Amino acid sequence: MAREAASGKRRGRRRGDGGTRDAIAEAARRLFGGGGYDRVTLRAIAAEAGVDPALVLHYFGSKERLFLSVAGLPVPPQEVLARLAEGDRASAGLRLTRFVLDRLADPRERARITAVVRAAVSEPAAAKLMREQLTLELMLPLAEALGSEDAALRANLAGSQVVGLIMARYVVGIEPLASAPAETVAAAVAPTLQRYLAEPLD
């Protein structure tokens, strides 16, 4: 992360408008991902990006808008959904768990996802984003594609396990879960998501 930060700063200083904007977005992604939303100041983001604080407001307008612009989904949910819903129904939970863990293994995506979860506890715009990205655009259409009844409740339950996993493994960092191999975690969590999305609930 330190090396990325340094190269981000260099890019920010050397490039033109697009480079500066990108450097600010990259700095925001790192800082929001690593700490509480309310503690990340525009001044700290500017310092991390190596630019004048006025430029952050110039490009993004406000902290909330900067947050929302870096917290958007990088891949259209339809593409993700198609991949997860296709194939054997009995292994949908495993596909979903592996998809989530793969995304979190990528440092940039991990920063984006932990930023949304961290911010959701205090910032209503982030809580709304979490509901949309996790439940409405992913879990709910997946539960529906699998033909499950009570799709809305099932989507919420699956979302609760995923959010809890992000909290425990990446935000709070509880050991040994935080350092466990992804395949160990996938094997443990997949049956939970499978049951929530596609099997009898009680």
Smallest gap from Cβ 103 to a second copy, in A, equals: 17
Radius of gyration of the CA atoms of the chain, in A = 18
**What are the strands, taking DSSP E only, across 14-59?**
none
Q: Give the residue among 194, 36, 31, 14 at the shortest CA–CA distance from 123.
A: 36
Looking at residue 32, its amino acid is F
Nearer to a second copy, 10 or 191 (CB): 191
**For residue 4, how far is the Cα from the chain centroid?**
19
CB of 39 to a second copy, least distance (A): 6
Cβ atoms of 103 and 75 within 8 Å: the answer is no
- The one-letter amino acid at 52: D
105 or 174: whose CB is closer to a second copy? 174
Measured from the CB atom, is 45 or 51 closer to a second copy? Answer: 45
Q: Which residues 6+ apart lie within 8 Å of 10 measured at CB?
A: 50
Q: How far is the CB of 14 from a second copy (least distance, A)?
A: 33
Q: Which residues here bind a second copy, judged by CB under 8 A?
A: 35-39, 117-118, 120-123, 127, 130-131, 135, 152-153, 156-157, 159-165, 167-169, 171-177, 180, 184, 187-189, 191-192, 195-196, 201-202
Q: How many CA atoms lie within 13 A of 115 on its CB side?
A: 26
Q: Residue 7 or residue 41: which is nearer to a second copy going by CB?
A: 41
Instruction: State the nearest-atom distance from the C-beta of 84 to a second copy, in Å.
Output: 19
Instruction: For the CB of residue 114, give the shortest distance to a second copy in the complex, in Å.
Output: 9
* CB-nearer residue toward a second copy: 54 or 174: 174
